[in-house]
Amino acid sequence: MRTERGFTVVEVVVAMLVLIIGATALVGSSGLVSRQIGRGRSISTATQVAVQRLETLRRAANRRTSVGGARCLDASFASGTATTRGMSEAWGLSGTTLRTAVDTVTYSRTGGTSLVVLQTLIACY
């Protein structure tokens, strides 16, 4: 009867295969996670651009041409387009007393472009 201790060659090979398969799965999923983080960053930036534009429109709507004058008459309270932080932006206004302001931000991503569209109501009375 032998009293030698240790692992057989087969056990070592099986352990190595299990480790290799696990490491390969981790490497594959890390690429996916990196892409998702990048996409989330782009969406977040596009949303910030749209929110800033809508806030600018709200401020412009509140400017009055005279004391007690009407709102929403400032020249900067208008539709337009711009490139902000490398993203294309277009905004528009519709309505009369209660105006709908819509801002659409187009950003590039792998395989094409995507949109973030934000909409709000601005009172003009």
Residue numbers of the domain that contains 18: 9-123
State the DSSP string of 88-102: EEEEEEE-SSEEEEE
52 part of a folded domain: yes
Over residues 67-101, the pLDDT tens digits come to 777 888 888 899 999 999 999 999 999 998 899 99
With bands split at pLDDT 50, 70 and 90, how would you rate the model's confidence at 66?
confident
Q: What is the largest CA-CA distance in the chain?
A: 106
Looking at the domain assignment, is residue 2 inside a domain?
Answer: no
> Looking at the 3D structure of the chain, how many domains does it have?
1
> Taking the model in full, what pTM does it have?
0.75
Q: How far apart are the first and last CA of the chain?
A: 100
* DSSP helix/strand/coil, 67: coil
3 within some domain: no
